[in-house]
Amino acid sequence: MTATTRGQLDFAVVIPTIGRSSLAHLISLVDGIPAPALIVVADDRRDPSADLPLPKTRAPLLLVHSYGRGPAAARNAGWRATESEWVAFLDDDVVPAADWCAQLVRDLQDRPPNVGACQAWLHVPRPAGKRPTDEQRRTTGLVGAQWITADMAYRRSALIATGGFDERFPRAFREDADLGLRTIRAGYSIVWGDRVTTHPLISRGGWRSSLRAQAGNADNALMRAKYGRDWRGMTGAGRGRTAVHILTLACAVAALAALAARRPRIACAAGAGWTFLTAEFALERILPGPRTAREIGTMAITSAAIPPLSVSHRLRGEWAVRQVSRRPPKPDQRPRAVLFDRDGTLIKNVPYLADPGHVQPVPGAGQTLAALRRNGIPVGVVSNQSGVARGLITPAQLESVNARVDSLLGPFDTWQVCTHQPSDGCSCRKPASGMVAAAAGALGLSAEDCVLIGDTGADVDAALTAGARAVLIPTTETLPSEVDRAAVVASVAPNLTAAVRQLVGRLG
């Protein structure tokens, strides 16, 4: 067990968010005693230009961005920005207990190394004096469900071993079950803790919510592709209705085809099958509910619409899985641009370098960059320079050093420099993804088209958070844990020339 200098369990808290109003209250609840080593808010809004209402905290608070790529990407961006032994994930709409931090520490304290995760119990309050609606029952179904990340703590070693959440799951539906299953397969166990967290019973989606929920069937296709037919049994997902929905849709199609062919008996038989299956599905949803006129009408309409929607989303998911399997894997694709960290990667690292005369390129940097340019591959620099904010170097000195780098190794197609210090909580400083995204935008590319080469875990995390690839070149100052993690989630190379050759082959 790793402890902080204060003798506490070393844990961080990651909260993915889309900007819900409950976020500030949640942060204040987890900013408790014992204090987390770090609270990370992973902003998954597509446009993070509007500020989030983040409260002041006693524990360090870090804001990272995943730019609308989904909860899996947001959670990955969050945990990769931490260094703690345990990472606790909380959804932004849950309400933990006032002493949640103390409960979490009791749940995690002295767990043997084979325990990879610890899950909380969820409490969903039922509506007073009435039966829950169909939408509300989907929320109450979270009670007792295994591996859901509404409140789930993972050991860092388990996240490294599995690579974290699979970002091919774009919505909060199966990504947590997938990670849980991969954690078990990696040799870890997942245990239940004693802490209890409340998930409010909130109706947000209106009568169309059940229709929108059918998009999750595309994720079911990915689960089947990864784990086979028995994936539901492996993850405790329960029985699905896909086969029944296919039969219902087949009856409807057969009835319409028979009518068009003027085969009334076949049309009547197929229509009767559709009517029976749709009525059975509607009753299954109506009987447990409040049975108001509005709810009955909603269930009747949506029960007819769900089978074709469910099947179409499942087919879309199956098609996407097969298309991806036919493409060459992304790590083998030639990048359209290569981005570099400055200190320790392109030039020898001198802390808070202020004198242009001390700029010294690393061996092979000039030849490698020249070869990339000859082959039409844009190059850029992405560099943290907190010495400006700390008052250790001036903006003019930074500009003169960068000009010297440009004269020795340039020209570079884009320069992205962050002059903030860590406590500023900016979105540009690595491991945040802002500079990587900005560099890609300046080159007219998406982050997925780029690779970032650097010498620290922050470089790797910034690239992965933005959706780019990463290669780590370890130096004497690179932490062993950063090398271990990069070997799982990115790539590791011994030097700059080897890193570029690994990405694009021999350039001549």
Nearest by Cα to 39 from 101, 118, 105? 101
Is residue 4 one of the residues assigned to a domain?
A: no
Specify whether 304 is located in the same domain as 164. no
Same domain? 162 vs 256: no
Which of the 8 DSSP states describes residue 422?
Answer: G
Residues 345 and 308 in one domain: no
Domain that holds residue 345: 331-504
Q: Examine the pLDDT at 206 and tell me if it is beyond 80.
A: no
| pLDDT over threshold 90, residue 49 | no
Domain-located, residue 188 = yes
Entry pTM:
0.69
- Phi then psi dihedrals of residue 103, to 5 deg: -65, -40
Instruction: Supply the CATH number for residue 368's domain.
Output: 3.40.50.1000
Are residues 259 and 357 located together in one domain of the fold?
no
The pLDDT value given to residue 173: 83
Residues 286 and 303 in one domain: yes
Asked if 174 and 275 sit in the same domain, the reply is: no
Q: How confident is the model at residue 203 (pLDDT cuts 50, 70, 90)?
A: low
Model confidence at 296, in pLDDT bands (50, 70, 90)?
very high
Domain assignment of residue 6, yes or no: no
Find the helix or strand (DSSP H, E) in which 338 lies.
strand 337-340
Residue 370 within any structural domain of the chain: yes
In a domain, 2, yes or no: no
pLDDT tens digit sequence for 182-199: 999 889 999 999 999 999
Which residues are catalytic, by number?
Answer: 341, 343
Three-class DSSP category at 109:
coil
Give the pLDDT of residue 506. Answer: 60
| Domain at 15, CATH number | 3.90.550.10
By residue count, the chain amounts to 508
- Same domain, yes or no: 34 and 124: yes
pLDDT of residue 397: 96
**Residue 279 confidence class, pLDDT cut points 50, 70, 90:** very high
- The answer to whether residue 362 sits within a structural domain is yes
371 domain-assigned:
yes
Same domain, 71 and 109: yes
pLDDT number for residue 1: 36
Q: Which of 138, 171, 204 is the last residue of a domain?
A: 204
What would the pLDDT profile of 4-48 be if each residue is shown by its tens digit? 434 579 999 999 999 999 999 999 999 999 999 999 999 998 887
Domain boundary among 204, 221, 250: 204
Model pLDDT for residues 344-379, shown as the tens digit of each residue: 999 999 999 999 999 999 999 999 999 898 888 999
pLDDT at position 402, please? 95
- The reply to whether 175 and 214 lie within a common domain is no
The fraction of the chain above a pLDDT of 90, given in percent, is: 61
Mean local confidence (pLDDT), 98-124: 95
Share of the chain above pLDDT 70, in %: 95
Burial string for 397-406 (b: 16+ CB within 10 Å, else e) reads bbebbbebbe
Query: Are 258 and 382 members of one domain?
Result: no
Number of domains in the chain: 3
- What residues are paired with 15 via a beta bridge? 41
In a domain, 487, yes or no: yes
Q: Are 195 and 233 members of one domain?
A: no
DSSP state of 444: T
Q: Which of 268, 282, 274, 272 is nearest to 250 (CA)?
A: 274
Beta-bridge partner residues of 198: 95, 123
DSSP classification of residue 6 = T
Angle separating helix axes 217-227 and 175-185, nearest 10 degrees: 10
Q: Which residues of 303-329 are buried (b: 16+ CB within 10 A; e: fewer)?
A: bbebbebbbebbeebbeebeeeeeeee
> pLDDT: is 95 or 479 the higher one?
95
83 and 111 assigned to the same domain = yes
- Cα–Cα distance, 114 to 149 (Å, whole number): 19
Domain boundary among 149, 184, 204: 204
Sequence letter at residue 311:
V
Lookup: tokens for 310:
């469910």
Residue pLDDT, tens place only, 420-459:
988 787 889 998 889 999 999 999 888 889 999 999 989 9
**What number of other Cβ atoms are within 10 A of residue 113's Cβ?**
10
Q: Over the chain, what is the mean pLDDT?
A: 89
Structure confidence at residue 204 as a pLDDT band (50, 70, 90): low
Pairing of strands 189-198, 115-123: parallel
Whether the predicted pLDDT of 145 surpasses 90: no
Residue-wise pLDDT for 460-507, tens only, equals 989 988 889 999 999 998 888 788 778 877 889 999 998 988 887 765
Note the pLDDT tens digit of each residue in 233-260.
888 888 889 999 999 999 999 999 999 9
